[in-house]
Amino acid sequence: MTFANPNMLWLSALVVPMVAYYIWWLRAGGAALKVSSSSPLESAPHTLRYYCRHLPMVLRSVVVVLIAVALARPQSSEQLTKTTVEGVDIVLSLDVSGTMLAADFEPNRLVAAKDVAAKFIADRPNDRIGLVVFAGESYTQSPLTTDKAALQTLLSQVEFGVVEDGTAIGMGLATAINRLRESDAKSKVIILLTDGVNNTGQVAPMSAAEIAAEYGIKVYTVGVGRRGYAPYPYYDAWGNLRYHQQLVEIDEQALTDIAAKTGGEYFRATDKRSLRDIYDRINELEKSRIETDNYTLHTEHFVGWLLWALALLVVEFLVRRLWLNKLP
What whole-number distance in Å separates Cα of residue 198 and Cα of residue 209? Answer: 14
Dihedral pair phi/psi, residue 260, rounded to 5°: -65, -35
What whole-number distance in Å separates Cα of residue 134 and Cα of residue 162? Answer: 9
Query: Does the model's pTM come out above 0.75?
Result: no
What whole-number distance in Å separates Cα of residue 22 and Cα of residue 54? Answer: 10
- Residue 146 CB neighbours (<10 A): 13
Low-confidence ranges of the chain (pLDDT < 50): none
pLDDT of residue 51: 65
pLDDT of residue 261: 97
pLDDT of residue 293: 63
Outline where the chain has alpha helix (H): 15-27, 39-42, 48-51, 55-71, 109-122, 148-156, 169-180, 205-214, 252-262, 272-285, 302-318
- Say if residues 288 and 86 touch (Cβ distance below 8 Å): yes
pLDDT of residue 246: 93
pLDDT of residue 259: 97
pLDDT of residue 135: 95
Q: What is the full DSSP assignment across 183-201?
A: ---S-EEEEEEESS---S-
Name the percent of the chain in helix, strand, coil, to the closest 5: 45, 25, 30
Quote the DSSP letter at residue 1: -
Superfamily of domain 88-287: von Willebrand factor, type A domain (3.40.50.410)
pLDDT of residue 113: 97
What letter represents residue 15's amino acid?
V
Q: Cα dihedral angle (39, 41, 46, 47), rounded to 10 degrees?
A: 170
pLDDT of residue 256: 97
* Domain boundaries along the sequence of the chain: 2-29+44-78+299-323, 88-287
pLDDT of residue 49: 67
pLDDT of residue 41: 52
